[in-house]
């Protein structure tokens, strides 16, 4: 009887030891976009550390793409553009968590009017992150406004550098493809919004967290818990935006509280529900939704 007791006790201790083993680190890469701020909030609250999730914050969309492509992160947040680039290389790549859809958060700025762009005989400088959804936005804009035959000088720069441009210092007509919150300083420095995903652009831009089936299976519990924390973060944002802003402020440049509130109007959260219409649209774009948490 005593031996049986010792065996039972040893088994219980062994099982407890196994169950308390921390999960393997999950690395997620992200960029500075208003729709990804729930991740920054969760990090600052200490929630990600408890799940052994490391957040890698980079300054450009293309850097985020290549960080994941080179195997330096296990999952990344991005748009359908990055998905279309990586899917042929990783056949099991899929969206697992939905964040938002752009509703004015992706923007075309210029140092002249739309009419000025149409009438100019000069080369038009276009600043954008070429290896990103920026390229699709620019193509869509040029086509919709019959500007595709203009001579365009494509200038590939990360948004952090583009944001330092000043309209008065540019000698040629200039287009900037940008997104919230980078647009705010650019507008203050003389640029004018001439199109966005809310109007004048016939384009859906939607944000997910992507990973492969293999990584998802390995880290299923962490992804499931992370989804709960993202939803909780967005609830906290609605209930106490000032507290949320205080936590994420280090990640969103010099964005004031009022500008932060305004930037939230440029996205629509879809973390809790994706409409049937949107699912149908995503299906036509070959983006699966069946594995979304």
Judge residue 37's burial from the number of C-beta atoms within 10 Å of its C-beta, 0-12 exposed, 13-18 middle, 19 or more buried.
buried
Q: Which residues does 11 contact at the CB level (< 8 Å), separation at least 6?
A: none
Q: What is the pTM of this model?
A: 0.86
- pLDDT by position in tens, the chain (length 293): 444 444 444 444 444 444 457 789 999 999 989 999 999 999 999 999 999 999 999 988 888 999 999 999 999 999 999 999 999 999 999 999 999 999 999 999 999 999 999 999 999 999 999 989 999 999 999 999 999 899 999 999 999 999 999 999 999 999 999 998 899 999 999 999 999 999 878 889 999 999 999 999 999 999 999 999 999 999 999 999 999 999 999 998 788 999 999 999 999 999 998 888 999 999 998 999 988 99
Other CB atoms within 10 Å distance of the CB of residue 174: 20
Question: Is residue 7 within a helix (H) or strand (E), and if so which, with residue range?
Answer: helix 2-19
DSSP 127: E
159: left (phi over 0), alpha (psi -120 to 50) or beta: alpha
91-111 tens-digit pLDDT: 999 999 999 999 999 999 999
Judge residue 218's burial from the number of C-beta atoms within 10 Å of its C-beta, 0-12 exposed, 13-18 middle, 19 or more buried.
middle
Q: How far is CA 10 from CA 6, 13, 18, in A?
A: 6, 5, 12
């Amino acid at each position: 009887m005593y031996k049986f007791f010792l065996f039972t006790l040893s088994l219980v201790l062994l099982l407890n030891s196994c169950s308390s083993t921390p999960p393997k680190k999950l690395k997620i890469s992200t960029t500075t976009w208003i729709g990804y701020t729930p991740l920054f909030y969760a990090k600052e609250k200490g929630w990600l550390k408890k799940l052994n999730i490391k957040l890698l914050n980079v300054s450009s969309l293309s850097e985020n793409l290549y960080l994941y492509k080179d195997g330096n992160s296990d999952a990344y947040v991005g748009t359908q553009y990055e998905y279309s680039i990586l899917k042929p290389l990783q056949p099991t790549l899929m969206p697992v968590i939905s964040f938002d859809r752009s509703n004015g958060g992706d923007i075309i700025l210029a140092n002249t009017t739309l009419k000025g762009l149409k009438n100019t005989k000069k080369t038009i400088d276009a600043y954008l992150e070429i290896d990103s959804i920026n390229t699709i936005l620019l193509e869509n804009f040029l086509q919709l406004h019959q500007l595709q035959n203009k001579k365009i000088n494509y200038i590939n720069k990360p948004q952090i550098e583009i944001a330092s441009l000043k309209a008065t210092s540019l000698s040629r007509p200039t287009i900037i493809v940008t997104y919230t919150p980078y647009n705010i300083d650019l507008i203050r420095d003389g640029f004018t919004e001439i199109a966005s995903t809310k109007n004048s652009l016939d384009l859906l831009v939607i944000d997910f967290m992507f990973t492969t089936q293999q990584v998802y299976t390995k880290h299923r519990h962490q992804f499931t818990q992370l989804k709960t924390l993202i939803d909780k973060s967005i609830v906290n944002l609605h209930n106490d935006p000032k507290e949320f802003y205080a936590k994420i402020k280090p990640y969103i440049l010099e964005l004031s509280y009022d500008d932060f509130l305004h930037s939230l109007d440029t996205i629509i959260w879809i973390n809790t529900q994706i409409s049937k219409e949107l699912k149908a649209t995503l299906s036509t774009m070959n983006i699966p939704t069946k594995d979304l948490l």
